[in-house]
Amino acid sequence: MTYSRICIFGRPGSGKSTFALALHHKTGLPLYHLDRHFYTNNWVERNYEEFLAIQQNIVNKDQWIIDGNSLKSLEMRYARAQVCLYFNYPRLLCLWRLLRRRFSKNRAIEDRAEGCQENIRWSLITYMWNFESRLNHRFIHQLADLRLRYPEVKFIEIRNDNDLKNLSLL
């Protein structure tokens, strides 16, 4: 089966955007990075209702790859997705990738809003480090609920590069 609506979320630094770009090149599906729409110039958060409207317009399309967390609005994407990929890589690896990305970002990945320079903010590091523990109880229940309510969505957790290598979406 080929998929035309793919939702990707998970820990920062886990490789979501890199994978999404590669998948975009392989499939030709339109790629949308949520951070491009969540933030405006200089990492200022967009009005949340406006962000939701932008996201809803994307989700209503027939084809997409959506890369990004925004877990409060995950159901909007999950409900329309055919496959949902949860990148759940180890924290230390993600921290290393965040630091490496600061100095050698793949310029082909256009996942930032205009005027949002690549940097390492303490808030990003703590968000990445505490991703599961901060969201764990609520998130696990939310994810279990989504999986029950939308059983037609293929859910795949990717914990390491071997999982990613063995992933067969196409």
pLDDT one digit per residue (tens) for the chain, 170 residues: 589 999 999 988 898 988 999 999 999 999 998 888 887 777 677 899 999 999 999 999 999 999 998 888 999 999 999 999 999 999 999 888 877 766 665 565 555 556 556 666 777 777 777 777 766 667 777 888 899 999 999 999 999 999 999 987 65
Q: Which residues pair with 8 in a beta bridge?
A: 67, 85
Assign residue 16 a region: left if phi > 0, alpha if psi is -120 to 50, beta otherwise?
alpha
Question: Which domains, from first to last, does the chain contain?
Answer: 5-165 (3.40.50.300)
**Sheet with 5-10: strands ordered across:** 31-33, 64-67, 5-10, 83-87, 154-158
Helix (H, G, I), strand (E, B) or coil at 46: coil
For 108, residues 6+ apart whose C-beta sits below 8 A from its C-beta are 21
pTM: 0.85
**CB-CB contact of 10 with 88 (8 Å):** yes
